[in-house]
Amino acid sequence: MERGNTKQEILEASLELFSVQGFEATSISQIADAVGIRKASLYSHFDSKQAILDTLVNQVLEKYGKHSIFSRTDWEKDAASLPLTSDAAVQMIQGQIRYILHDPTIQRARKMLVIEQFQNPELAKLQTKQNYSDVLAYFTGLIQSMIRKGVLAEDDPEIMAAQFCLPISVWINLCDREPEREKEVMALVERHIRQFFRVYGAESAFARIESTNREAER
């Protein structure tokens, strides 16, 4: 087997083991056994288990940056992809959820972070960044852009973003634990997004204001 292929197999086997039993609980011997090589051979590719983890994190972040919508937060540059209707938002978000749930590398990396978030300070920071800070920043930027476009009524964009994205994060975690519920979750996501547009849509807000004004005049 070529050296480059062996190195990638080591990374893939390590991520699988880390996602199931955690980084600390996984030994170099277990990784070598999973690949089908001697422990000494593994050390010709990586000098430590930490070196394997560091390489994995860099690979996952690079892949996530290329394919995840949450890695983009500059809506001035990405205005063409701005979802201006509930239909467009449903399609965009459901597509991202499917990517997160079904891409093997992203799926395993996410599970590894869940296991390690209370044991490894660096991975805890990465978990917060990937699954909270970046997601909230992305949706805050998205909401602000839709407000500027007149799609949504003006309100606190960060709170609107939290109301929009945090339930979706909970449903993704539910699918991780119970993958058979994905169809149910996708239906919930669609209902959630459509209700959000009904509640915060600019036309709905205008109608509420008009109704309030009429009531005040009576």
CB under 8 A, 24+ apart: contacts of 109-112: 109/15, 109/19, 109/56, 109/60, 110/176, 111/19, 111/20, 111/176, 112/15, 112/18, 112/19, 112/22, 112/23
| Contacts (Cβ under 8 Å, ≥6 apart) of 90 | 189, 190, 193, 194
For the chain, give the number of residues: 218
Please name the residue that has the structure tokens 């892949």.
63
Q: Cβ–Cβ contacts within 10 Å for residue 197, how many?
A: 21
Q: Is the pLDDT of residue 207 over 60?
A: no
pTM (whole model) above 0.85: no
pLDDT of residue 155: 93
Q: What share of the chain is helix, strand, coil (3-state, %, to 5)?
A: 80, 0, 20
Please report the pLDDT score of residue 204 as a whole number.
Answer: 62
The answer on pLDDT for 122 being more than 60 is yes
Indicate the burial class of 187 (C-beta count within 10 angstroms; 0-12, 13-18, 19 or more). exposed
Task: Specify which of 1-5, 50-54, 95-99, 148-152 reaches the highest per-range mean pLDDT.
Answer: 50-54
Query: DSSP 3-state assignment of 149?
Result: coil
What confidence tier does 76 reach under pLDDT thresholds 50, 70, 90? Answer: low
- Residue 78, helix vs strand vs coil: coil
pLDDT, average across residues 106-124: 90
